[in-house]
Amino acid sequence: MADLKWWQKAVFYQIYPRSFADGNGDGIGDFPGMTAKLDYLRDLGVDAVWLSPHYPSPFLDCGYDISDYVDVGPEYGTLDDFKRFLEAAHERDIKVILDFVLNHTSDLHAWFKESRSSLDNPKRDWFIWRDGKDGGPPNNWQSLFGGSAWELDPRTGQYYYHCFLKSQPDLNWRNPEVKEAMWDVVRFWLDLGVDGFRLDAIGTIYEHPDLPPHTIPAEKLQHATAHDLADAEFRQLMTYQLHQPGVHELMQELRRVVDEYPGEKVLVGEDDNVAYHGSGDDELHLVFNFPLMLTDKLTPEHIRSNQAIRLADLPPGAWPCNTLGNHDVSRMWSRFGDGKHDAELARLHLALLLTLKGTPFLYNGEEIGMSNLKLTSLDQIRDTMATSRYAALTEEKGLNPEEALEYALRITRDRCRSPLQWDSSANSGFSPAGVETWLPVNANYRERVNVADQLNDPASTLSFYREMLKLRRNNPALIAGEYLALNPQSEEYFAFLRHEASSGQTCLVALNFSDTNQAAIFDLETSRARLLFSNRSRPDAALDLRQIDLQPFEILVAELN
Ligand code: NOJ
């Protein structure tokens, strides 16, 4: 355990700055708000926070369209507010990593404004400009957010490439000046003392330089609606736009930049490809295990096979990283709930996340059981991925507006981005009463889905989170132990061991995903264990592992004798 790095032991907590805490009462979260909540995070028991983008941005992709990489968006405060936040976090032993959006800037970034100004501007080649073909775009590539990936710029008559929104032009990373400018950005924040970066969309950094057209049938191309990156057909469609050669070398270069700094700065890739660990210790430190998360139902079979594949695929020395929620996906409570046992299922999934081998990432609001925000009309949607796909579906693909609206409301990422619910007062204590918050507050804040009501209630979701985080912290096997699957045949419960050599501790974790009792038989060398945790009544702490009757939705953690 002693030789694990801080980011291997840490539990990360993702803050979505716009929705976390509004310090100045304008309906938008900010740094003074976040700073005031650091004690809450310390008491929750997390070790590090990842901030979604906090930079100046026109906010067309909720901050993932950056117009200045070395400043703070005015709605979030000033650079001094950021520094105060960082210092206050460090005082509480909380590390801070930032979101670094490499693939694209906002079209309002000074670099792009210069680049688009003329064909011979020195920054012209900082973005990807091409002549059109046969009166249309250079080829049939698609934007991940719907529609063509090319936008005609009338000023110079050329098209620029955008993998995401047309207001997010792709940087040309083959240009060495771009790299140097971006490494300066990295150094700027490291000089201020941040602890690392989450790297946005690294798979899209390079495109095939010859721009070969997609060869899948035109018909399919027309109907491809860019569901999401997990969609196999869509991935095929994106062949020339994703995971092109060069990303590994780029990640190695970035790694060398962060390694110039002491304190083990961490790089976390927004990608599920374990190859981005490089040889294990020369590219990214962590890469999200998205295949675990990207399902609507986590069955024991899915988890078991995910773990078997994932752990076997990791290069030697690489460390796993698990998450079940973030700002792009449906909230855990809504996604994994069945409408009847939502609270129990949410706890089971959290217990899974905190006991599997790997660094866990939590998403703000999950700790109080926040559920998806429901919107009803197009004008309520702030997420332009949803509105842009709506436009592509209705304008280019001829879908009727009702169907397209139903689709947009279903996929809008606003659902998981609503303001954090702090108490039961108006606006849930996020903003003062009467202020219009940037997204509506989910009305269930009045039904105890808020921090204040749960804080001192031992039966609350929040208390459960705190207890599980403590359990993890106090048991080296749960942090550092090797993983060993047990009882591979069960479709109802998932059980495994974690064994940590230096402390000699072995923990058994058994999670019953069903609403019925399950007789679990563990054929282990020792049959004696001591109960460390159960969410069900178990009067006897001494367990006989030859047969354990798991109760409905039971979470059982025990230490082998
Ligand atoms: C991934 C981010 O998580 C998502 O929110 C964003 O829209 C895209 N990258 C584009 O930056």
Where exactly are the structural domains of the chain?
Answer: 6-102+174-207+244-375+412-466, 110-161, 376-411, 481-560
Q: For residue 3, what pLDDT is reported? A: 87
Indicate the Cα dihedral angle 81, 83, 84, 88, nearest 10°.
Answer: 140
What is the Cα–Cα distance from 297 to 317, expressed in whole angstroms? 30
Q: For residue 218, what pLDDT is reported? A: 60
What is the Cα–Cα distance from 274 to 291, expressed in whole angstroms? 11
Q: For residue 123, what pLDDT is reported? A: 98
Q: Is the CB of 101 under 6 A from ligand 1?
A: yes
3-class state of residue 207 by DSSP? coil
Element (H, E) at 153: strand 150-153
Q: For residue 478, what pLDDT is reported? A: 98
What is the Cα–Cα distance from 118 to 156, expressed in whole angstroms? 6
What is the Cα–Cα distance from 67 to 153, expressed in whole angstroms? 19
Domain 6-102+174-207+244-375+412-466 sits in CATH at 3.20.20.80
Q: For residue 487, what pLDDT is reported? A: 86
Identify whether 200 is a catalytic site residue: yes
Report the residue among 15, 64, 170, 417 best suited for mutation to probe ligand 1: largest number of ligand atoms under 8 A from its CB.
64
**Residue 438 DSSP one-character state:** S
- Rounded to the nearest 5 degrees, what angle is found at the Cα of 356, between the Cα atoms of 350 and 359? 85
What is the Cα–Cα distance from 269 to 227, expressed in whole angstroms? 21
State the angle between helix axes of 247-258 and 176-192 in degrees (0 to 180), rounded to the nearest 10: 30
Which amino acid is residue 36, in one-letter code? A
Q: For residue 551, what pLDDT is reported? A: 98
CA of 64 to the centre of ligand 1 (A): 6
- CATH 2.60.40.1180 assigned to 481-560: yes
Identify whether 264 is a catalytic site residue: yes
What is the Cα–Cα distance from 303 to 300, expressed in whole angstroms? 5
Q: For residue 227, what pLDDT is reported? A: 46
CA of 111 to the centre of ligand 1 (A): 20
Q: For residue 309, what pLDDT is reported? A: 97
Ligand 1 atom with minimal separation from the 65 CA: 11
Ligand 1 atom with minimal separation from the 145 CA: 7
Distance of CA 70 to the CA centre of its chain: 22
Q: For strands 493-500 and 505-512, give the pairing.
A: antiparallel
Spatial neighbors of 98 by CB under 8 A, at least 6 apart, are 50, 51, 54, 189, 194, 196, 197, 198
Residue nearest to ligand 1 atom 5, measured at CA: 328
| Per annotation, catalytic residue among 264, 281, 467, 559 | 264
Domain 110-161 sits in CATH at 3.90.400.10
- pLDDT averaged over 10-residue windows placed end to end, the chain, 561 residues: 89 98 98 98 98 97 97 98 98 98 98 98 98 95 86 98 96 98 98 98 94 75 50 71 94 98 97 92 96 90 96 95 96 95 97 98 98 96 90 85 93 96 98 97 98 97 98 98 92 97 96 96 91 96 93 98 91
Q: Please, what sign has the CA dihedral across residues 100, 103, 107, 113?
A: positive
**Residue 437 DSSP one-character state:** -
Q: Which residue has the tokens 């230096």?
A: 502
pTM of the model: 0.96
Q: Which two tokens stand for residue 142?
A: 């698609």
